[in-house]
Amino acid sequence: MTTTTHILGYPRIGEKRELKFAQEKYWRGEIDQTELKKVGAHLRQQNWQVQKEAGLSYATAGDFAWYDHVLTTTLLLGHVPKRHRHGFPDLDTLFRVGRGQSQSACGCHGAAASDMTKWFNTNYHYIVPEFSRDDTFEVSWPQLFEEVNEAIQAGHNVKPVLLGPLSYLYLGKEVEEGFERLTLLPRLLSAYQAILAKLAKQGVTWVQIDEPILALELEKPWLDAFKLAYQVIRSEVKVLLTTYFDAVTDCLERVVALDVDGLHIDLAAAPEQLDEVLALLPAHWVLSVGVVNGRNVWRSDLAAQYQRLLPVKAQLGERLWVASSCSLLHSPVDLDLEPALNEEVRSWLAFAKQKVSEVVLLGRALDGNEDAIAQCAVYSQPIQARKSASHVHKPQVQARVNAISPAFAKRSAPYAQRAAHQAEVLKLPLLPTTTIGSFPQTAEIRVQRSAYRAGQLSQAEYTQALKEHIADAVKRQEALDLDVLVHGEAERNDMVEYFAENLAGFQTTQFGWVQSYGSRCVKPAIVVADIEREQPITVEWSKYAQSLTSKQMKGMLTGPVTILCWTFPREDISRKAIAQQLALALRDEVTDLQQAGINIIQIDEPAIREGLPLKKRDHQAYLDWAVESFRIAAGSAKPETQIHTHMCYSEFNEIIESVAALDADVITIETSRSNMELLKAFEEFNYPNEIGPGVYDIHSPNIPTEEWIVDLIQKAAQKIPLERLWVNPDCGLKTRSWPETEAALANLVAAAKTLRKSLTEV
C-alpha cells in the first residue's frame, strides 16, 4: 500500500533569485527573450530534479510563472485585456499586462497595467483578471504544455497544476457594468475542456486543479456553479481538486458530490477538518492531506504527524496521499544555503527543499518502513525540546504583555483636538505633498551595504555613507518642494527585515527569499523567540535628516501587524501575542522619535487587510486585536504628533470601520490603478480623518503627467473634502530609479500647486 507523495508547487525564483535577475536584465534590454527562456528552463529542470531525487511520486509542472500564476492562466486562456492585444500573445504581452506599457515603448498610446492584489491572506500578489460581457476564451499560450513536455522528456512522472475555472473567474473583476462575470463560465469551460484534452494527449494521468475559493464563504451562485463546471470539463485525465489556506467543511457536502477523483485539504491551516472529510469522502476518491506547512519555515513534527495519520492510512490504504499544505512558493528555497545560522535555530527549520524530503519521509513511515519511522522520531526532537527553552519564552516580555490595559490603546486626545494642535505646529498648506517613505535603493547603496556586511567597510565608514545618501535625498526633496520630507530609508534593506534585524527575538537569513510579485522578492525574517526592543532603531537617522531641513521630517516605522504578516511567525503562540509584543516595542520607538523632535510619524500597515482570516465569521476577532496592536504602538504619541499610516492593494469596504478605528491622523492608500475606485469605501463610510489617495502607480515604469494627477486629485476631491486630502504616490519608491522618481514627483508637486492656485483664484 504505497503512499503517493507530492507537493502543490515549488518556488520558481531559483536558489539565489536567478529568475529575478534574468527578468530585470530582459526588461532593461540586456538579454533577449531566448536567454531569458533558457534561465526559466534551467530553473524548472532544477526544481523537478529536487523532487525526483527526494523520491516524490510526482513532479509538479505548470507551477512556473514569469510573473504570477494567475496571469499565466490569463495568457493560457487567451484572455488578454483589449488594451494590451497586439497580435498573438507572447511573453511580452504577459509583461505588458503585469507592468503596464509606456507610450515610448510601443510607439503608440501607453496602456496601464492590470490591477494587482494579494493572493488570499498571503504576501504573494496576482494580476487581477478583467472580464467583459463579450469575452471569449481560447487556448493560445503554450507554456503549460511545453513545460509538461519538458518534464516528460526529462523522465519525470508529471502532475500538472492548473488554476480552476471558478477560482479564476471569482478572483477577477468586471470592467464594464451591467453583467456578472459568472455568466462567462460556459465559454470558459470550453477552454478548460480543450486544456484537459491536450494534457491527456500528452500522457498525463492526474491533473491538480486548484480551487482555493472553496475555503471561502462562497455565495450560493458560485457554489451552485461547481457541479456543472466539473461535469462539463470531465475527461480521461483524473482530477485532484485542490483546496488550501482554510477548511472546506462549510461546503463539503457539495464538494464530495463533484465529478472528480480526489480532494486535497490543508491540514496545516485547518487540522480540525480531517475527521469530517474522512466521514464524507467518496469511496473511490483519493485524499491528499497537506500536513507539511507550505507557508512557514518550521520543521514538521513528523513523529506527531505519523501517529495522527496512521489510522487514516489504515482506513484509506493507497487512497491516502501525503503532500505540502499549499504550494511551496511561499517558502524560501533551501536551508542548506544558510551556513551562518545558529545550529539550534537551524534544527527548528525547514525550507522548500527540506519540506519535499519531509513529505517523502512521512510517506515512507506510513508505508511501514522501520527506518523512516525511527527517522521521524529523531527529526522531531528539536521541535519538542524548543517548547521548554527559556531563551524562547522571556518572562520580562510576557510580564509586559500581561500588563496591557485599555488605556494603552488610546491617544491622549480625540482626533478633532489633535488636528487643531497639528495644524498649529506643522503649518502645512492645502493638499500637502509627501511620499510614502522609501527612495531608490541605488546600486551604490547596495554595494556599500554588501561591503559593510562583508567587513570591507567599517561601521563608521558605512554610517557616513548612509548619511550622505540621506543628505542627498533631503536635498532632492527640497528641490522638488515637497511639503513633508522623509529620510529615504537608505539604511534599510526591507521595511520589515530591517526592524527584525534590530529587535531581539528574530532570526534573519541570507538567501531566504520568497516571491512577492513579478521580479519582486522579499526575505521574511523568522520569529524565533519573544520580541523586545533593546535600543532605539530609527531615531538617530530621522534626527539627522531633520537637522538638514527646516521642513517637517516624517519618521518611518513598520507597524506591528505588517511585521507579523510579513515574517514567518512562531507556531507555538498566537498571532495576537506576537502582534502585542511588536506593538510594545514600536510604542517605545514612537516615544523616542517625538522626544527627538520628529512631529510626524508614519506607522505603515499595508498588510492589515491581508491578515484577515478567509472565513468572514472570523474577521472581527482578528480585526479587534490587529487594531488594538496598532493603537498600542501609536498610543504614546502626543496630540501634536501626527500619526500617519499606509495601506496598499487592499479592498477596504469590508474593513473600513476597523481602518477608521486605527485612529491614525492621516492614512495613505493605493488608488491609482483603480482610478480612485477604492475611495468609494471612505466616501460611503464618511471617513473622519485625513487621507492621501495615491495618485500614481509606482509599480509601473510609466511616469504620470501633471494633467493625469490633477484629474485623479479632482476625482478624489469629489469623495473626500479638500481640506482633508494629501497628495502622494501609492507606495514607496525603493524600486524606482532617481530620474523617473524625480520626474514623477515634479509632476505630483506641480499638480498640487496648480489645484491650490485654481482654488485660490475661485
Amino acid 106: pLDDT: 47
Amino acid 708: pLDDT: 87
Helices in 28-122 by DSSP H: which ranges?
33-54, 69-76, 91-99, 103-106
Is residue 250 within 8 A of residue 206, CB to CB? The reply is: no
What distance in Å separates the CA atoms of residue 444 and residue 439, rounded to the nearest whole number?
A: 13
Q: Half-sphere exposure of residue 452, counting CA atoms within 13 Å on the CB side?
A: 17
Q: Between β-strands 552-558 and 484-486, what pairing exists: parallel, antiparallel or unpaired?
A: parallel
Amino acid 123: pLDDT: 86
Amino acid 111: pLDDT: 81
Q: Which CATH class is domain 4-386?
A: alpha beta
CB-based burial label for 542 (10 Å; 0-12, 13-18, 19+): buried
- Smallest CA-to-CA distance from 411 within 690, 638, 581 is with 638
CATH 3.20.20.210 fits 434-761, yes or no: yes
Cross-strand pairs, 669: 647, 693
What distance in Å separates the CA atoms of residue 216 and residue 86, rounded to the nearest whole number?
A: 36
Helix, strand, or coil (residue 333): coil
User: Which amino acid is it at 218?
Assistant: L
- Known binding-site positions: 17-20, 118, 123, 436-438, 489, 520-521, 566, 604, 610, 646, 648, 670, 731
What distance in Å separates the CA atoms of residue 725 and residue 280, rounded to the nearest whole number?
A: 55
What's 627's DSSP letter? H
What distance in Å separates the CA atoms of residue 688 and residue 678, rounded to the nearest whole number?
A: 16
Q: Between β-strands 4-6 and 320-324, what pairing exists: parallel, antiparallel or unpaired?
A: parallel
CB-based burial label for 134 (10 Å; 0-12, 13-18, 19+): exposed
The question of whether 699 is a catalytic residue gets the answer yes
Residue ranges matching CATH 3.20.20.210 in the chain: 4-386, 434-761
In tens, the pLDDT along 219-267 reads: 999 999 999 999 999 999 999 999 999 999 999 999 999 999 999 999 9
- Smallest CA-to-CA distance from 17 within 538, 513, 417 is with 513
Q: Which residue in 84, 264, 330, 699 is the catalytic one?
A: 699
- Known binding-site positions for L-methionine: 436-438, 489, 604
User: What's the length of the chain?
Assistant: 762
Amino acid 387: pLDDT: 86
- With a cut of 70, which residues of the chain have pLDDT below it? 1, 102-110, 649-651, 672-678, 761-762
What distance in Å separates the CA atoms of residue 189 and residue 194, rounded to the nearest whole number?
A: 9
What distance in Å separates the CA atoms of residue 370 and residue 361, rounded to the nearest whole number?
A: 11
Angle between helices 575-595 and 619-634 (to 10 degrees): 20
Is residue 277 within 8 A of residue 249, CB to CB? The reply is: yes
- Known binding-site positions for Zn(2+): 646, 648, 670, 731
Is residue 634 within 8 A of residue 604, CB to CB? The reply is: no
C-alpha cell at 351: 525550507
